[in-house]
Structure 1
Amino acid sequence: MEIVTLDHFARCVGEGFEIDMGTGSLVFTLTEARPLPERGFTGMRRSPFSLLFRSESKVLLPQKIYRLKNAALGILDIFLVPVARDKDGIIYQAIFN
C-alpha cells in the first residue's frame, strides 16, 4: 500500500483491527480518525492525523509498534500509545505526521 492517509482510516471507523499477540489475538476497534493541524513543513507527504482505538481487554499493552490486520487495509505496523482507561476498556492513540 502507498503511504496511508486519513481517508484510508476514515472509511474504517467502527471496524476491527486484529493484533496477533503470539498466544492469541486481540481486536481493537477504530473509534476515531481525525485531522490534526498542519504545521506546513516542507516535504510533507501527507496531512497529519490522529487515530483512536478501543480495546475491550483490561490488560494494558505497552506503547510500541504493533502489527494490525484489517479486512479493508490489510496488514499495517502502527505505533500505539495507551492514553486512557474507562469501564469499557483501554483507548490507544496513533499519530501520523
Structure 2
Amino acid sequence: MASSPDLAMLRLDDFASHLEADFEMQTTGGVLPLKLLKADPTGAGGSEGAAFSLLFAAPAGTALPQAIYPVRHPALGVMEIFLVPIGPLQGGNGYQAIFS
C-alpha cells in the first residue's frame, strides 16, 4: 500500500485516474466504503496548482457530519480529508472534498 501523501502536493490528476474507484473512509463506527464519482477543477480551470473538487458516494443510510476523516486508497495511501455531506447521490449519500 502507498504511504500517506502530502495533501499540499496532491493535484487533480492524482485523482482523475481513479474515477469510479473504491476508497474507504474510517469513522468512529468502522469503515465506510466510498466511490469516487467526480474529480473536477474549480476556480482557475485546472491550471497547475489550481483548486479541485472531489465527489464521493457512500451507501444509503450512512449520513455523517462534515469533518476530517482518514480516507484510504490502495494506490494513493491514507489521506486526512475534510468531507462535507451534500445529500442523496446515486442511491446513497454524497460527500465532497475541496482542495485549494
- Per the TM superposition, whether the score is higher than 0.5 is yes
Q: Distance in 1 between matches of 2:90 and 2:54?
A: 20
After TM superposition, the score normalised by the length of structure 2 is 0.82
Q: Distance in 2 between matches of 1:96 and 1:38?
A: 12
Alignment of 1:1-97 (within 5 A): 1-2=5-6, 3-38=9-44, 46-86=49-89, 88-97=91-100
In structure 2, stretches of 5+ residues that fail to align are none
Amino acid at match of 2:56: F
Pairwise CA RMSD: 1.9
After TM superposition, the score normalised by the length of structure 1 is 0.85
Q: Distance in 2 between matches of 1:11 and 1:80?
A: 20
Q: Percent identity?
A: 38
CA radius of gyration, larger in: 1
Runs of 4+ aligned structure 1 residues displaced above 4 Å come to none
In structure 1, stretches of 5+ residues that fail to align are 40-44
